[in-house]
C-alpha cells in the first residue's frame, strides 16, 4: 500500500460526493507524480467477453456520468497510481473479478494523481483504494491489496446488498477498441511478475527489455519505479523517519526518508530534503545523494514541473 495524502473514505451513510463541473478533464499520471510518462502497466484485456470487459477508465470529466450508473448496478471505483505498480496490478485483478459478473457491476478505474479531485472526494489516503457506489452512496471496500478470492467474496456481498436496495440492472461491456495496445513481451513478463509480487523477476525483465532496446524509455522508467519499490517495501516508516530526525546528516537515513516521501506522493518534500543534503555534503556522500535524486527524477518523470524545478536547484547546488 502506498500513502496518498488525503483522508479516509466517507461512510456509506453520508451522501455521495460530487465533483465540481468546472474541473479540468483528467490526463494519465501517477500518485503525486504529476505527468509521469506511462511505464508498462499490468496486463489488460485478458478478462471479460470478446466485445470488451467491464472496466472503464474514469476521470473528473465523466465521474458524474459513471456515478449515475450506480442506480442501475454497483459501480466499484478502484483508485490506483502508475507509480504504485502494486495498485496497478490490483486494479487489473479487480477487473478480472468484476468481469465474471457479466455486467451486473462496473469497475471504474481512476488514476488518482491524474484525477486528484476524485481521490479527495473519496478521501483516499493510499493506493489502492477501492470504494463502491450504490445508488450514489459510497461503500468503502479496500485500502490495500487482497487476493482475488477475497475480493470476489466481498463483491458477492456487495452485489447482494445492491439487490436488497433494488439495484439489480446490468450495463453493456466497454467497447473492445477502448482497450490499450498489448504490451511488448518483456513488458508483459514484467507486469505479470509485478502482479505476482515478484519484484526481482520484474527487474530482470525490464533489464532485458533495455538490453534489447537501449532506447526503451518506458522500461527505464518502470525499472526506476521497481528499484524504488525494492528499497521502500522492507522499511518501517516510523523507524526510518525517527532515525532521520535524530541524525539529519546521516545520508542513508535521509535517502530512505526521501524514498518514502516519493512513494507516498510527497515529491516536493523528498526533493527539498535531498537538495538540502546535497548542499551539506561533499565528496562521495554528495555524489550518492546526487545519483539518488537523478533516479527519483526518472521515477517522477522528466517533464514534471517539480522535476524541472528540482533539477535546476540541483545544478545550482553542485556548481
**Can you give the pLDDT at residue 289?**
95
Contacts of 116 (CB under 8 A, 6+ apart): none
Q: Is the pLDDT of residue 263 over 50?
A: yes
Residue 211 pLDDT grade (very low, low, confident, very high; cuts 50, 70, 90): very high
Strand pairing class (126-127; 129-134): unpaired
Residue 48 pLDDT grade (very low, low, confident, very high; cuts 50, 70, 90): very low
Please write the tens of the pLDDT for every residue from 107-118: 999 999 888 889
Tell the CATH topology of 2-178: Glutaredoxin (3.40.30)
Provide, for the chain, the percentages of residues in helix, strand and coil under a 3-state DSSP scheme, each rounded to the nearest 5.
50, 10, 40
DSSP H helical ranges for the chain: 60-68, 85-99, 116-121, 148-164, 185-195, 199-212, 217-232, 237-246, 251-263, 267-280, 283-300, 305-318
Q: Is the pLDDT of residue 49 over 60?
A: no
Query: What pTM did the predictor assign?
Result: 0.49
**Can you give the pLDDT at residue 85?**
86
Q: What Å distances lie between residue 231 and 21, 67, 234, 260, CA to CA?
A: 40, 38, 7, 9
CA distance 87 to 92: 9
What crossing angle do the helices spanning 251-263 and 267-280 adopt, rounded to 10°? 160
Please write the tens of the pLDDT for every residue from 98-143: 999 999 999 999 999 888 889 988 989 899 999 999 988 999 999 9
Domain residue extents for the chain: 2-178, 185-318
The three-class DSSP label of residue 166 is coil
- The number of residues in the chain equals 319
**Can you give the pLDDT at residue 60?**
86
User: Which range is least confidently modeled, 12-26, 103-117, 121-135, 202-216?
Assistant: 12-26
Question: Which is more confident, 205 or 15?
Answer: 205
Cis peptide bond N-terminal to 150, omega within 30: no
Q: Is the pLDDT of residue 14 over 70?
A: no
Q: Would you say domain 185-318 falls under CATH 1.25.40?
A: yes
In a 13 Å sphere around the CA of 22, the CA atoms on its Cβ side amount to 0
Residue 162 pLDDT grade (very low, low, confident, very high; cuts 50, 70, 90): very high
The whole-number average pLDDT for the span 27-31 is: 26
CA distance 186 to 221: 14
Share of the chain above pLDDT 70, in %: 82
In a 13 Å sphere around the CA of 251, the CA atoms on its Cβ side amount to 16
50, with CB counted inside 10 A (0-12, 13-18, 19+), is: exposed
The whole-number average pLDDT for the span 66-82 is: 93
The three-class DSSP label of residue 111 is strand
**Can you give the pLDDT at residue 91?**
94
Residue 50 pLDDT grade (very low, low, confident, very high; cuts 50, 70, 90): very low
Q: Are 84 and 119 in contact (CB under 8 A)?
A: no
Q: Are 195 and 80 in contact (CB under 8 A)?
A: no
Q: What Å distances lie between residue 1 and 83, 143, 192, 239, CA to CA?
A: 11, 8, 18, 17
CA distance 266 to 270: 6
Considering the chain, what is the average pLDDT of its residues?
Answer: 82
Same CATH topology for 2-178 and 185-318: the answer is no
Record the cell numbers describing residue 81, joined without a space: 497510481
**What sign for the dihedral angle of Cα 265, 269, 274, 278?**
positive
Amino acid at each position: 500500500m502506498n500513502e496518498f495524502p488525503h483522508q479516509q473514505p466517507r461512510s456509506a451513510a453520508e451522501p455521495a460526493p460530487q465533483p465540481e463541473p468546472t474541473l479540468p478533464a483528467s490526463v494519465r499520471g501517477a500518485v503525486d507524480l504529476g505527468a509521469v510518462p506511462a511505464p508498462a502497466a499490468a496486463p489488460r484485456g485478458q478478462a471479460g467477453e470478446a466485445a470488451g470487459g467491464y472496466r472503464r477508465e474514469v476521470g473528473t470529466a465523466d465521474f458524474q456520468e459513471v456515478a449515475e450508473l450506480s442506480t442501475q448496478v454497483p459501480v466499484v471505483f478502484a483508485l490506483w497510481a502508475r507509480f504504485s505498480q502494486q495498485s496497478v496490478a490490483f486494479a487489473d485483478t479487480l477487473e478480472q473479478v468484476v468481469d465474471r459478473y457479466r455486467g451486473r457491476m462496473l469497475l471504474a478505474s481512476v488514476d488518482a494523481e491524474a484525477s486528484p479531485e476524485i481521490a479527495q472526494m473519496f478521501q483516499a489516503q493510499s493506493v489502492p483504494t477501492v470504494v463502491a457506489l450504490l445508488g450514489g452512496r459510497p461503500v468503502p471496500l479496500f485500502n490495500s491489496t487482497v487476493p482475488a478470492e477475497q475480493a470476489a467474496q466481498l463483491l458477492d456481498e456487495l452485489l447482494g446488498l445492491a439487490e436488497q436496495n433494488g439495484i439489480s440492472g446490468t450495463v453493456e461491456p466497454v467497447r473492445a477498441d477502448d482497450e490499450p495496445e498489448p504490451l511488448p513481451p518483456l513488458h508483459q513478463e514484467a507486469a505479470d511478475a509485478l502482479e505476482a509480487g515478484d519484484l526481482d523477476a520484474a527487474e530482470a525483465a525490464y533489464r532485458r527489455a533495455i538490453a534489447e532496446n537501449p532506447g526503451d524509455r518506458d522500461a527505464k522508467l518502470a525499472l526506476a519505479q521497481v528499484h524504488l519499490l525494492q528499497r521502500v517495501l522492507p522499511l518501517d516508516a516510523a523507524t526510518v523517519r525517527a532515525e532521520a530526525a535524530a541524525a539529519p546528516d546521516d545520508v542513508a537515513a535521509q535517502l530512505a526518508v526521501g524514498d518514502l516521501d516519493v512513494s507516498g506522493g510527497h515529491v516536493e518534500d523528498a526533493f527539498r530534503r535531498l537538495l538540502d543534503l546535497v548542499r551539506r555534503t561533499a565528496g562521495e556522500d554528495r555524489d550518492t545523494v546526487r545519483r539518488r535524486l537523478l533516479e527519483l527524477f526518472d521515477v517522477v518523470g522528466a517533464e514534471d514541473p517539480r522535476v524541472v524545478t528540482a533539477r535546476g536547484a540541483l545544478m545550482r547546488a553542485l556548481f
